[in-house]
């Protein structure tokens, strides 16, 4: 019996060490990605400034003016993407090191951030034969950490797309809905995948579960990150699911008025 216990302890320790090694490798990759993205961002900012200088001189010439506008839009989108990558690498570094998360709120429309996040997943959904239906509410800007909301939406919808590919037959469907009620933003993501048993559902709500879809790949960090970000924003997660009945994720986040956030910042 003692031999069995010793072997079990050694096996458990080896498993934990492998997880720690994988986590360290992931952190190193993300840090490298963040540094490269930062360099790309600096180069893009330099090129963008030159485009702005040239724009007044060429805007009267139709082809050149159109090209200038296209370049401005392209560099702006590139800068936004780089900012998200750098911010995400820092976010993962903080989560991995156990540092507290400090949301950086600014005025934004919740539905706009969710729509933008989902738009990046549309090519993946089409490739996998999954119908992606998005319905968003029209609301006034509130104080949001747009990086947190963007990442929450992408992770939850990304997992739903993976789940939809697990259903029997061809394709699947994912519905994404946003609304505002009782002072909270609601993000609801419904898939028609295979669903999950109660024990897995409970582990997801508690932030202890990882993706289990056979065809999905990925790091398995998605639901853990969502749990941490939602908690940092003072929100909550609900999951309705049962084997063979699909899954619905509901993320509720307090709709913080922009005025209230400015006053809080002035006091600190």
- 140 shares a domain with 73: no
Tell me, yes or no, whether 82 and 114 share the same domain. no
Q: Which of 124, 122, 173, 184 is nearest to 149 (CA)?
A: 184
Residues 119, 219: one domain?
Answer: yes
Confidence (pLDDT) at 219: 43
Domain that residue 10 falls in: 2-97
Residue 70 lies in a domain: yes
Tell me what pLDDT residue 131 has: 94
Evaluate whether residue 266 is within a structural domain: no
Could you tell me if residue 249 is inside a domain? yes
Both 74 and 126 in a single domain?
A: no
Let me know whether 149 and 93 are in one domain: no
Query: CATH no. for residue 227?
Result: 3.30.565.10
Contact 104/72 with Cβ under 8 angstroms? no
Name the domain count of the chain. Answer: 2
Whether 254 is covered by a domain: the verdict is: yes
Output the pLDDT for position 201: 83
80/194 same-domain check: no
Contact 163/213 with Cβ under 8 angstroms?
yes
| Helix ranges, the chain (H) | 2-58, 62-97, 110-119, 122-127, 146-164, 198-205, 222-232, 258-267
Q: Which of 43, 72, 97 is the last residue of a domain?
A: 97
Does 216 share its domain with 129? yes
Average pLDDT, consecutive stretches of 10 residues, N- to C-terminus, the chain (268 residues): 55 51 52 55 62 62 66 72 72 76 93 95 92 92 95 93 80 93 96 88 73 47 83 94 91 89 50
The helix (H) or strand (E) run that includes residue 195 is none
Name the DSSP letter for residue 176. Answer: E
Residues 86 and 110 reside in one and the same domain = no
- Final residue in a domain of this structure, among 59, 74, 97: 97
Query: Is 263 inside a domain boundary?
Result: no
Angle at 233 between CA 177 and CA 229, to 5 degrees: 80
Give the model's pLDDT for residue 60.
Answer: 62
116 and 92 housed in the same domain:
no
Within-domain flag for 29: yes
- Which one-letter DSSP state was computed for residue 99? P
Residues 61 and 189 in one domain: no
């Amino acid at each position: 019996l003692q031999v069995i216990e010793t072997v079990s302890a050694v096996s458990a320790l080896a498993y934990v060490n492998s997880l720690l090694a994988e986590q360290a490798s992931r952190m190193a990759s993300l840090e490298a990605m963040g540094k490269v993205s930062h360099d790309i961002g600096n180069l893009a900012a330099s090129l963008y400034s030159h485009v702005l200088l040239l724009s007044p001189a060429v805007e009267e010439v139709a082809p050149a003016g159109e090209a200038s506008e296209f370049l401005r839009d392209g560099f702006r989108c590139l800068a936004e993407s780089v900012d998200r990558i750098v911010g995400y690498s820092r976010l993962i570094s903080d989560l991995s090191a156990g540092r507290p998360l400090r949301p950086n709120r600014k005025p934004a429309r919740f539905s706009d951030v969710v729509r933008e996040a989902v738009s990046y997943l549309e090519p993946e959904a089409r490739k996998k034969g999954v119908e992606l239906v998005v319905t968003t509410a029209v609301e006034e800007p509130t104080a949001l950490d747009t990086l947190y909301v963007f990442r929450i939406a992408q992770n939850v919808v990304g997992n739903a797309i993976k789940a939809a590919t697990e259903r029997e037959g061809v394709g699947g469907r994912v519905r994404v809905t946003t609304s505002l009620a009782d002072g909270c933003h609601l993000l609801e993501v419904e898939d028609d995948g295979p669903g999950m048993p109660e024990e897995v559902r409970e582990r997801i709500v508690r932030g202890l579960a990882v993706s289990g879809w056979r065809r999905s790949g990925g790091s398995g960090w998605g639901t853990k990150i969502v749990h941490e970000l939602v908690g940092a924003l003072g929100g909550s997660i609900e999951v309705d699911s049962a084997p063979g009945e699909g899954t619905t994720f509901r993320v509720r986040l307090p709709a913080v008025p922009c005025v209230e956030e400015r006053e809080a910042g002035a006091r600190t």
